[in-house]
């Protein structure tokens, strides 16, 4: 069974089993999350990110893609490449991956 905080914004349905998503986390559409993943508070995962099994993502991490175009911070960013996180990985606190 998954443990997803009511204070998290989760916009994807592609979530494995035994997944923990903590409060104040934002997960955009078109994200795939494997089995046994633990996502700590204040994490942002943008569209197009694929997370393998048994991954732990520590607080404040940003997983996404480099925004394209002027003003990308004020609008929904447009992305061209996907990010793949393999099985059995740890993403450290405040890490930025694109």
- Sheet strands (E) in 1-98: 3-4, 9-10, 20-21, 26-27, 32-33, 38-39, 44-45, 49-51, 56-57, 62-63, 83-85, 90-91, 96-97
- Please report the domains of the chain, with CATH numbers, ordered by start residue: 1-98 (2.160.10.10)
15 has pLDDT over 60: yes
55-65 pLDDT tens trace:
999 999 999 97
Q: Report CA 70 to chain centroid distance, whole Å.
A: 24
| Tokens encoding 20 | 């923990």
17-57 pLDDT tens trace:
999 999 999 999 999 999 999 999 999 999 999 999 999 99
């Amino acid at each position: 069974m998954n443990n997803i905080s009511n204070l998290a914004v989760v916009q994807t349905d592609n979530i494995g089993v035994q997944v923990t998503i903590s409060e104040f986390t934002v997960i955009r559409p078109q994200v795939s999350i494997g089995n046994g993943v633990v996502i700590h508070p204040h994490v942002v995962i943008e569209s197009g990110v694929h997370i393998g099994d048994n991954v732990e993502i520590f607080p404040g991490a940003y997983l996404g893609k480099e925004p394209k175009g002027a003003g990308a911070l004020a609008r929904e960013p447009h992305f061209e490449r996907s990010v793949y996180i393999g099985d059995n990985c740890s993403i450290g606190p405040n890490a930025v991956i694109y």
